[in-house]
A and B are shown apart, each in its own frame.
Chain A
Amino acid sequence: MECHNSLTDTPLGESVVLPRAQGYDYEFVPALDPKYECPICLLALRAPLQTACGHRFCKDCIYNSLSESSRRCPIDNTPLKETDLFPDSCAEREVLQLRVRCPNTSLGCTQVLDLMYIEHHTQACSFQPVLCPNECSVTVLQRELDQHLKSQCLLRLKLCVLCDLPYPFNQEQLHLATCAQVMVSCELCSAVVARGELPTHRSDSCPRVVVGCPYAEHGCSHKTVRADLDAHLSQSTQYHLHLLSSAQKRVTALVWELSRSAGVWGSPSGLGFSRQPSLRSQLSATSPSPDRQLGESSCGERGERERGLVFPSPLKLDTSPKLHLSLSQLAIVGEGATALEEGKGGEDGKAGKDLAMHPQQEAILKDLCGKTLEMSQGLLQVNIGLSNLQARVEEVEGWVTAEGGEAARGRYCQGEYVWRLKDFPGTLAELREKPTRVFHSPGFYTSPFGYKFCLRLNLTRNGQGGQGGPAGEEWLSLFIHGMQGENDAFLDWPFAGVITFALLDCSVGKPKAHITETLQSSPDRQAFSRPQTHRNPKGFGYTEFAPVRKVVDGSGRAEYLHEGTLHIRATVKLLQHHQGPAGKAGCICQHQQKAQKVG
């Protein structure tokens, strides 16, 4: 018997016993030489290993032995470790070349072949027993399977001669008991119909089925077998006419109520519409229109409701309930009109004659439809307006969020803030055009609960041509301004700290040449006292911080203008308060420029 277990290399010492492949169990021709027999499984060696003491075993058998019993050789009991086992490829090759009989010999297969081909052969062997795929629990030889499936299997599918549907061969009676094409007699009327047609027969034609009067929706509660329905209709004509008349009165009242709630007309009788020749033609002319309008309006309304969840509109609250009332009432009117039309057809024109007595109602209906159309269009326009408004709100919200992000950045920058001046060429042009123009950065904090500052940038033209450079040279002026912050109440004033300005060099691959200036706060400067307005008008910084020329062209080595954006960094570090005499604090100038107080 062949075990089809995988030859996996299972680690030893596992508590779970995995399936192991034993040796090859075939009839060898000639009989298997004992030297190729595994002493553990007593079968032909499969993937043999040889021990250091010179004994051969199937790989899985010896691993099994080592994990299941004492770690000794199963033949001579000498101690044995995994490292004492070596693949015996020579023995494996010799075993695989031994001749064996096909396991199906007793079933008729006469094949004798090399062991290495036997598994391949048995998969294809025509004498291999296989289980019927129909799960009829019969086992047949592979070569007989087709015939079994074709003519013997009890579960083979057979097509029903009546309904063409398949059923298992041994379940013919069961199928016939449910086949839709088997003729059966109706239990009520004894008519013979196909089983599948029985429901249709019952609902449409069986004369013995009890049905309700077609005027049930108008109030006739009469029920009878279908065969007697005609008699009822002819006997109760007067009653049915009465019901229809009542229904029409209700419709009239409803239309009146509708027109009043719409606030359009006074008495319908005062409108003076011309009488219409026939209700039927009138309805056929008008009814498609309100139907379509109803569809559009409800769609529009639904869409509006969805948007309304995001952005409720006061306008909608004004208009929508009224319109909604009108639409629902119109729907009722539409139903009533349909019912009237049916009644008219059913009563062979008698009802038409009756209804023609209210021509002004037809006219009201028509006008009402027109009015609804107008209102729907108006509603659509309002919706479009709302959509536009909503888009703008979203845009504004976007700005707010962006500003919020900037605010958070400033709040949590820990005193090191980078001011990104986008489109600096545009900013410069504006500064040149208006000499008084200044730009302020967003506020930033020295710490989330520290001082709030902002930066200020403007343009200064050197009139004297002094130490800063030639006359007429343009300078960027950079100042820091205190701002009113949330923490001012508990902070120490005046502010004491060191502030470092840096115009950042964004060049790549070169040593950074930031323009850096450091200054120290001075307690007697108003610029460092507690701000009394949103932004302290007094600032502290450099009127001549950096020449515009240098900033714009970067002196050929630095790149201060990166994709049009100027990056200015301010680093504010607090000093321990009251550390030294007030007069000692001053500005530290690394370049020749002077720190100046600016009013």
Chain B
Amino acid sequence: MGGRGGGGQSAGWTTTLWTGHSSTSDMANIAIQRIKREFKEVIKSDEAQKCAINVELVGDDYRELRGEIAGPPDTPYEGATFQLEIKVPETYPFNPPKVKFVTKIWHPNISSVTGAICLDILKDQWAAAMTLRTVLLSLQALLAAAEPDDPQDAVVAKQFKENHPLFLETAQYWSHVHAGVPKGNSEFSKKVRRLMDMGVGEHQALVALSSCNWDMDRAIEQLFS
């Protein structure tokens, strides 16, 4: 909560002359005004200065934003940058923003297929005092501390619990393939390429191999049965 800057800034022409609005769009206006302030808060924040989080506009009406978080250090996501789709409801901030991962990620609480996130503060534990900045930082924390007992992706969660080193390898390899990490497991690369040589798409091959704990035969069986 601390560290948020003052809300005021000098008013421009248009905002100064804007005197009222219809009651139907009142909520939407509250939402947009607040998002504007949160947007500036993120931009000015220390974390943004360190490139840990960032937010950009999609379109010009503040109803949809593109978030960005850096993978936390000492995790298989270190060095990665994850893009997030943030949709702001008209009832914001009284209802949570709708957030999902655009960048593919291997994580027990995030769907490897859709990018949907299982995080309580984006659901029933949302509070109006939360902001874009706290949401992005919470997601960053989620990457560092997964909750395999409350999974979004059961396959990932199973691997996380039963073969944790393989999970770490897989997550790191996904960061390499999708999230801009320079190096990845060369064994995994070979297996993917072999499947690609058989005519399978790269991501399809990646999903099949990751789901089958990188067992080539099972992956082929899954893909071609």
Contacts and interface: CB of A to CB of B under 8 A. Distances in A.
A103 B17 CA distance: 11
A105 B124 CA distance: 43
Contact of A19 (B20, B33, B95, B129): B20
A101 B11 CA distance: 11
Contacts of B17: 129, 131, 139
A292 interface: no
B39 to A, nearest CB: 11
Interface in B36-93: 37-38, 41, 91, 93
Contacts of B33: 1, 22, 41
Interface string B1-30: 111111111111101111111011011001
A379 to B, nearest CB: 72
A44 B7 contact: yes
Nearest to B130: A74
B7 A20 contact: no
A26 B3 CA distance: 18
Interface residues of B, number: 41
A5 B93 CA distance: 20
B34 interface: yes
A41 B34 contact: yes
B125 interface: yes
Interface in A31-53: 31-32, 34, 37, 39-44
Contact of A129 (B13, B23, B124): B13
B10 A106 contact: yes
B127 to A, nearest CB: 5
A255 to B, nearest CB: 80
Given A41-B30, A69-B91, A139-B13, A27 B6 contact: yes
Contacts of B21: 19
B26 A27 contact: no
A161 interface: no
Most buried by A among B4, B33, B93: B93
B128 interface: yes
B6 A40 contact: no
A317 interface: no
A150 interface: no
A26 B16 CA distance: 12
A37 B128 contact: no
A57 to B, nearest CB: 9
Q: Is the interface of A mostly helix, strand, loop or mixed?
A: loop
A28 interface: yes
Nearest to A76: B127
Contacts of A39: 1, 128-129
A55 B127 CA distance: 13
A584 interface: no
A73 interface: yes
Interface in A1-37: 1, 4-5, 16-20, 22-28, 31-32, 34, 37
A105 B128 contact: no
Most buried by A among B7, B17, B93: B7
A25 B7 contact: yes
A82 to B, nearest CB: 16
Contact of B34 (A1, A42, A73): A42
Interface in A170-217: none
A176 B109 CA distance: 78
A20 B30 contact: yes
A41 B131 CA distance: 10
A1 B95 contact: no
Interface in B121-167: 124-129, 131
A64 interface: yes
A69 B123 CA distance: 12
A68 B8 contact: no
Contacts of B2: 34
A42 B41 contact: yes
A439 to B, nearest CB: 79
A68 B91 contact: yes
A30 to B, nearest CB: 8
A28 B6 contact: yes
B127 A75 contact: yes
A72 interface: yes
A75 B16 CA distance: 31
A77 interface: yes
Contacts of A4: 19-20
27 contacts: A1-B11, A1-B16, A4-B19, A4-B20, A5-B20, A17-B24, A17-B26, A19-B20, A22-B33, A25-B7, A28-B8, A32-B8, A34-B3, A42-B4, A42-B34, A42-B38, A43-B8, A43-B37, A44-B7, A44-B8, A64-B94, A65-B94, A68-B27, A69-B94, A69-B95, A74-B129, A106-B11
Given A74-B129, A103-B11, A106-B10, 12 more contacts: A17-B27, A18-B23, A23-B7, A43-B37, A68-B94, A69-B91, A69-B95, A69-B128, A77-B125, A101-B8, A103-B16, A128-B16
